[in-house]
Every structure is written in C-alpha cells, then in structure tokens.
Amino acid sequence: MSKVLIVGKNGNLGRELVSLYPEATAWGRTELDVADESAVLNKITELKPDIVFNCTAYNDVDGAEQNPAPANQINAKGPETLAKVCDQISATLVHFSTGQVFAGDSKDGYTETDTPQPINAYGQSKLTGEQAVANFCQKYYIIRTEWLYAKPSTSGTSKKSFIDIMLKMAKAGKPIKAVDDEFGKPTYARDLAIMSKELVEQNLVYGIYHGINEGLASRYDWAKETFRIKNIEADLTPVPASTFPPRAAKRPQYEVLNNTKFPKLRSWQDALKDYLTNN
C-alpha cells in the first residue's frame, strides 16, 4: 500500500483529504512549515512517502497584492521545495492551484493547456508555484480549482467560505448584495478531494488538470441557490461588482476553468445540495 502524506491538513481541502485517507500521515503548519526549506527536506526525506498532497496555501488575494512576500513563500517557494524533495525520493506530488492564473477575460473559460496570464499577485504566486512543480518534479499532478467551499475550518487562517458568510448574514436579517457580473464554478472541496484520489489511484498521465464542479454561476446565483435549498427567505439583491469599493487586487471577471481531461464532476447545484443537506 502507498504511503501518503497530506500537508496543510487543517484547510478546506486538507480536511477532506484526511477523511478520505484515514491511514495517511497528515501535518498542519505546526508539524511542518512549508516555508522552512530544511524542515521540508529533512522531515519528508525521513518519512519517505510515495504520494504527497500539498494542501497549503496563502489564499488572501488582497493581502498578496499589498505584500506579496508571504504569498510567494507559501504558494511559490513552498511548492518548489516540496517538488525537489519529492523528486529526490521518487514520490508523486499532488499540488493545487487556481483559476486566477488566467486573465479571466474569456467568457468561454480556459482549458488545461491555455496560456496563463495572471492579473494579480496571488495568481502570479500560484503560477510560479505551478512552474516550480513542473520543473523540479517528474511525477506531479497540478490540479487547478476555484470558488472552493467546505465545512467551516477550525484553522484561523483558512479561507472563509462564501456560503457561511451568506448564511450568517441571512440569519442576522441583514440585506445582502451579491455580485452578478463575475463568474466562476463553485466547487465542493470533498468532490475535489475524491477527484484527486482517483487521479493518483488510476495512475493517469502526469500534468495539469482542472478540478471543478460543472456549470457557471455568479456569486448572486450561488447565494440564491443556497437560500433556496435551505428554504431561507433572504433579502438578496443582485449588483454589479462596481457597487463595492475597489479591492486591492483585480479579480478575473470569468474565473472559469474547463475540465477536458478527467470525467466531469457533478453540477455545482447537486454538490451544493449534498453539502448543505449533509453537513
């Protein structure tokens, strides 16, 4: 049986992978700081896993624009070190990236082979991480995803789920404005974790994959469907993104990944219903 290591065990995706691999070694930031090059090299060489899932990330898109250093450390340098050590011990590295490596100006979205062109520092840090993984490790899967959600994390730094924010606002009876002119594919972290496990177990060809639930949505569509499934009467209004004050980082208007290499995952509406009724 393969020896599996999950790094970033407390994040949205990390927790789902840990539940799929109960026998795996799983490390959070306190067990392994991916920015600490010698710790990564020493601890992983000593463990000698066959497969490493890297679920660590710096996901604060506006924070990265103001100060790119931590994003570069965790999203670019960390994966580079992981790629080097995985290559040395002949392990397979499964690394995750984002739709924000693309410019986001194509309504039709992007396939695995389209040329990345990030428009913000976060996207650039993730692209540099992708390139390091591909350059330094022979056995790798890079899985890009977007608009990820999972059960609320116990980790203070983990990215907050849009769904939880919407539910909290509705519960407080607050009027909610949700953007209806930016688009993406809401993706359940459990579905992404299952896809990642299948990729590895089926020994599919190494390279870049897109892991997303199917179908396009705006944040408004996503919030509306959440309230419909939960039977909540919310005061929800669609608004253009320009309604809100400008953010530090530009966002792609169409963060739309197309999966052309792996059997398609279920629709975002079916995944959302599963998540909301079973959590």
Ligand X SMILES: NC(=O)c1ccc[n+]([C@@H]2O[C@H](COP(=O)([O-])OP(=O)(O)OC[C@H]3O[C@@H](n4cnc5c(N)ncnc54)[C@H](OP(=O)(O)O)[C@@H]3O)[C@@H](O)[C@H]2O)c1
Instruction: Please identify every residue annotated as catalytic.
Output: 122
Nearer to ligand X, 152 or 240 (CB): 152
209: tokens are 């994959």
Please return the burial class of 229, using the count of CB atoms within 10 Å of its CB with bins 0-12, 13-18 and 19+: middle
Residue 116 within binding range of ligand X, rule CB under 6 A? no
Sign of the alpha-carbon dihedral angle for 240, 67, 100, 10? negative
Residues 117-146 that bind ligand X (CB under 6 A): 145-146
Distance CA 36, CA 253 (A): 35
Of positions 3, 29, 139, 151, contacts ligand X by CB under 6 A? 29
Judge contact between 171 and 238, C-beta under 8 A.
Answer: no
Q: Residue 57: name the closest of 102, 8, 99, 10 by CA.
A: 8
- Of residues 78-97, those binding ligand X (CB under 6 A): 96
Map residues 157-196 to x or -, x wherever contact with ligand X holds by CB under 6 A: xxx-------------------------------------
Confirm or reject binding of residue 74 to ligand X (CB under 6 A): yes
Nearer to ligand X, 98 or 269 (CB): 98
Shortest separation between residue 233's beta carbon and ligand X, angstroms: 27
Q: Which neighbouring-strand residues pair with 187?
A: 148
Distance CA 124, CA 120 (A): 6
Stretch that binds ligand X, among 17-25, 28-36, 107-115, 261-269 (CB under 6 A): 28-36
CA separation for the pair 35, 27 (Å, rounded)? 14
Question: Residue numbers of the site for ligand X (CB under 6 A)?
Answer: 8, 10-14, 28-29, 32-35, 55-57, 59, 74, 96, 98, 145-148, 153, 155, 157-159
